[in-house]
Structure 1
Amino acid sequence: MKAYIITGVSKGIGLELAKQVSKAGHFVVGIARTECELDEMKFIQADLSITENLESMMNEIIDSVPQNIGSFTLINNAGMVDPIGLIGTVSAEEMTKAIAVNLTAPMIISNTFISKLKGFEGSKRIVNISSGAGRNAYEGWGTYCATKAGLDHFSRVVALEQLNAKHPVEIVSIAPGIIDTGMQEAIRASNKEAFPLLERFIDYKEQGVLSSPEQTAQKLISFIENKDFKEVGPIVDIRKF
């Protein structure tokens, strides 16, 4: 049996990932700010923007995992696209919250995961759900782009450090493509002044080019279970696999 720890499980690809790995018979711990009714997993309700609680939460989660687990996979999926707007017009409070959820939280959670499982000899993997926005600049997404770029570079550093670990953790930061989720709805609900690329994202929906959460989760699980992270490197786009 494998253990999966997944953030952002109340909707979108997080929920689909939790459903699919639970159905496969694995032990799943899901974390989300809003309630998630999925009986097959252990659910932890937590606001990841409140970062001072994350270390103790992760320690408790790992302690709750059954003794017969053969591998651990952490999927840092939770994220937010807000605030959308040109820099100079956005709320400092919203920027701070987004940085906490998109970057600070996965860094703390990953740090605790690596520390707590230092002596575990089985397979250990961290999957950071990134975005093409971390690799390209988009007007109106200053905070989102910066946090995803930070998540990518954090993953590069961890991959480098783990080369010298006795029982290493493998890590990838993976862009999942454009998915038909609530985040896309939030993007389309913005205005062109705040987000100059608005029409492009409306077209994605109208032209039917968005992937479903179900399809994306299937691709991610196949990648996680079948690819050698060290071979593909720490920065990945799922559309290339």
Structure 2
Amino acid sequence: MSVEAFIITGASKGIGLALSKQLAASGHQVIGIARSKPTDWTGALFITHDLTDIDGISQVMAQAVQAISAEAEAVTLVNNAGTVEPIGFAAANESQDIAKSITLNLTAPMSLSSAFLRGTETSNNRRIVNISSGAGRKQVQGWSAYCAGKAGLDHYTTCLDAEYENLRAVSVAPGIIDTGMQERIRESGEEDFPQIEHFRNYKSSGKLSSPEDTASGLIQLMQRADFNELPVLLDLRELPQ
């Protein structure tokens, strides 16, 4: 089996941690980035950094790229970190909360991608997998900042994929996952998020995917023989056969 290197943001919990564990268990090199290191980290390297600190991203990525094994036959950046905050109609969203949302959901992935591209320019097999959301492709009342950030991430990904011949970039909506983000959504009020009961029902009726199943699906996606021919914008629940 070929060994690949993966740089994964938001690697301390949820999808990011599950993806890191599964890839590491398969013998791949995993470099995680998040605000705090999980106690059950199994990857090769963990870099502690708050991605809203944009000024430190170049240094973080330089450290990650420097650690990539010379034996790695491919290198992949997975921009997974994100936030659904602020939840509420647009008039209720404060400037600092909007700025933090856009920074984490869009500016940080863009900055990480730029630094990744600079650090891996000699690689002939590199990928960027951005974790997006269906909310970036349709309006959701109460999530204007989140929707805008993910829509921007989608379009940024199409630009990346068009700009570089030795890069494959995709933006993947993973579905509705049973993570801390979902807990925060269920805690919101109907006045801030009119679809709240739907999301509570997803949990009570067992319709949420687990982080582990989602991570497995992402790995299967990245291992597809036709990965480079797939559309740039993908939904993990609706992949072409």
Q: TM-score range by the shorter chain?
A: over 0.9
Tell me which residue corresponds to 1:201.
199
Identity of aligned residues (%): 45
Q: 1:171 aligns with which of 158, 169, 172?
A: 169
Distance 1:40 1:89 in 2: 40
Q: 2:120 aligns with which of 117, 122, 142?
A: 117
- RMSD of aligned residue pairs (Cα, Å): 1.0
1:108 aligns with 2:108: no
Within-5 A mapping of 1:1-241: 1-37=3-39, 38-121=41-124, 123-162=125-164, 165=165, 168-241=166-239
Aligned length: 236
In 2, are the aligned partners of 1:5 and 1:74 still within 8 Å (CA)?
A: yes
Amino acid at match of 1:211: S
In 2, are the aligned partners of 1:171 and 1:229 still within 8 Å (CA)?
A: no
Amino acid at match of 2:168: E
Query: Displacement, 1:232?
Result: 1.2
Distance 2:105 2:58 in 1: 16
C-alpha deviations, 1:130-189, integer Å up to 9, x for none? 000000100000000000000000001111112xx3xx1101000000011100000000
Distance 2:147 2:163 in 1: 25
SS at match of 2:104: helix
62-71 or 149-158, larger mean C-alpha shift: 62-71
TM-score by length of 1: 0.95
Gaps of 5+ in 2: none
C-alpha deviations, 1:30-86, integer Å up to 9, x for none? 001122121433111100001011012101210111212111011000000000000
Gaps of 5+ in 1: none
TM-score by length of 2: 0.95
In 2, are the aligned partners of 1:5 and 1:73 still within 8 Å (CA)?
A: yes
Amino acid at match of 1:97: K
SS at match of 1:74: strand
C-alpha deviations, 1:200-227, integer Å up to 9, x for none? 1111111111101110000000101115
Amino acid at match of 2:238: K
SS at match of 2:92: coil
Change (3 A) 1:155 1:40: closer
